[in-house]
Amino acid sequence: METQQEVTIKDLLEAGSHFGHQKRRWNPKMKRFIFDVRHNLYIIDLAKTLEQLRSCMKVVEETTSQRKSILFVGTKKQAKAVIRDCAESSGEFYVCERWLGGMLTNMKTIRASIKTLEKIEKKLASGGGEGLKKKELSLLAKEQVKLERNLSGIRAMRKKPGLLIVVDPGNEHIAVAEAKKLGIPVMALVDTNCNPDPIDYVIPCNDDALKSVKLIVQALTQKIIDKKNEMNISGEKEEATAPSKEEKEKLEEK
C-alpha cells in the first residue's frame, strides 16, 4: 500500500464521504454527526468525520504500540477487497467474506474448523487422496475452498484481538455483539442509518461508497504500518499474537 499524506476535508469530500442515507432511513442517534439535509439526503459533517478519524488514528497507533492485534471486518461488496488488502499490508487479521457465529466467542470451534482445513490441505498436497473416488476428491476440494474463503484471514489468530475495525456495524452486528461481550473495543465507519451507541470509536461517513471506505480504512492502516516500522515489528503479526506455552498445550489437546 502506497504511503499517503494526512487526510483532509477535501479528500473526504472528493471521496463522497459526506453523503448519508435518505431521510426515511436514518437513525436519530446519528444526529450529532449530521450537517444538513439536501435533496432528501442527510449530509454528514466532514469536520466531525475528520476529527473522529484523527482520534481513531491515535487509537490504532496505541493498540499497535501495545503489540495487540487488530481484526478488520467488512463483508459487504464495497468493503471486501479494501479490508483484505489493508489487513494483509499491515500484517493484521481480517474477515471479509462471512462472519461465522462464534469467531470471537467460540474460538475453540473456529480453531477446530481451521484444523480441518489444514488436514484437507495436507491430504491433498501429499497425495493422500489418491485412494479416494473422484466424487470424494471433489467434495474435499469444495470443502477446502469454502473453509479457506471464510477462515483465511484469521488462520493465525490464537487469541482475541485488541481492537476491531468494522465497516458498517449494522451489517456486521454479530461481530460487534461478540466483541462487546468479550470487552474488545470496536472502531467503525458509521453511516447515518446506523446506531452508534455500541461503537467505542465512531467515524461518521458514507460506508457505501468504495472511495470513502478505501480512503478512511487506508488512513487507519497507514498508521498501523508506520507504528510497526517505528517499533521495527513490521510483519511480526505471528509473534505479537502467538499463544503462550500453556495456551499452545491447550490448543494441541483440542
Quote the percentage of the chain above a pLDDT of 70.
88
Of 47-51, 145-149, 236-240, where does the model show the most confidence?
A: 47-51
CA 83 to CA 78: how far, in whole Å?
Answer: 9
In this predicted structure, the answer to whether residue 241 has a pLDDT above a threshold of 50 is no
pLDDT of residue 17: 98
pLDDT of residue 235: 53
CA 131 to CA 147: how far, in whole Å?
Answer: 23
pLDDT in tens, 97-141: 999 999 999 999 999 999 999 999 888 877 655 667 777 788 888
**What mean pLDDT value characterizes the chain?**
90
In this predicted structure, the answer to whether residue 1 has a pLDDT above a threshold of 70 is no
pLDDT in tens, 73-86: 999 999 999 999 99
Q: Which three cell numbers stand for residue 211?
A: 472511495
CA 134 to CA 113: how far, in whole Å?
Answer: 23
CA 253 to CA 15: how far, in whole Å?
Answer: 49
Mean pLDDT, range 51-57, rounded to an integer: 98
| In contact, 204 and 111? CB cutoff 8 Å | no
